[in-house]
A and B are shown apart, each in its own frame.
Chain A
Amino acid sequence: MTIMHAIQGRHVRVAVKGDLDLKTAEPLRDALDKLVDRYRDKNLVLDLTEVEFVDSSGLGVILGRYRRLSSQGRQISLTGVKPSVRAVLELAGVDSIISIGGDPVRGQTATPK
């Protein structure tokens, strides 16, 4: 797994590449927490364009960051979500609490402006 980040206005955009599972959950959590702590006035955008697989271990990292950021009045959103990944997110109900890129129901986009 590799991650790259860029600052875009009020957002830290983090592009993740690789599977999000038990092996990658901990390094991903550590990397995201460092960015969350470093850019305290920014929201987090996770770009999952190059993520082919997510299971509950990866999902736990995303939901854990959602909890952290929410408690600080900040937001996390997902973009570039593939259908197979979206199925896992929807089954867990993540789509009801986290904006997933281009979701028309929420009438907003996860792409930072």
Chain B
Amino acid sequence: MNRVEMRFLSLADNVGLARIAAAALAGQANFSIHDIEEIKVAVSEAVSNAVIHGYENRPDGWVELTMELDESGMTILVEDWGVGIADVEKAREPAYSKDPDRMGLGFVFMESFMHGLEVESTLGQGTQVRMRRFVTLSVSRDAQ
């Protein structure tokens, strides 16, 4: 059992910081290297969304990352107090992006690489992304 809370500015530099912290915490549990790689992608996507969409690349917003380890897995909460998402269901669809160089795959990766994803957002107030990853039979996965 462990819990980590981090608060950092909405800077692109902090995306890597967040995923390294998540990987370090996940390393305390029975996750495989493969599992940890997938957790890193999910955290990277959630924090990137907060920076790009939540704060629209403003560097002075706060992003909170709360991670909790328990016997069965890891829960990750990424929260921002930015502009919010008008239509969460639509935002979770692939290819929902205003930027032609962004594929709108952030939520797809989060859903695919984690075992549960909840998104709550209020326009003008911010967004909460809660993800859960269970410890699975990592030994057999690694052996594949």
Contact = CB atoms under 8 A, between A and B. Distances in A.
Asked if chains A and B come from one complex, the reply is: yes
B112 A91 contact: yes
B15 A21 contact: yes
Interface in A59-113: 59-61, 63-64, 67, 83-84, 87-88, 91-92
Given A91-B108, A91-B109, A56 B101 contact: no
Contact of A55 (B34, B45, B100, B112): B45
A25 B34 CA distance: 24
Contacts of B41: 53, 55, 88
Nearest to A53: B40
A87 B103 contact: no
A29 B102 CA distance: 12
A31 to B, nearest CB: 14
A87 B45 contact: no
Interface-centre pick from A57, A87, A92 (highest chain B CB count, 10 A): A57
A87 B38 contact: yes
B100 A64 contact: yes
Interface in B98-122: 99-103, 105-106, 108-109, 112
Given A56-B109, A59-B103, 10 more contacts: A21-B15, A23-B13, A23-B16, A56-B45, A57-B48, A59-B105, A63-B103, A64-B100, A87-B38, A92-B103
Interface of A: 19, 21-23, 25, 29, 53, 55-57, 59-61, 63-64, 67, 83-84, 87-88, 91-92
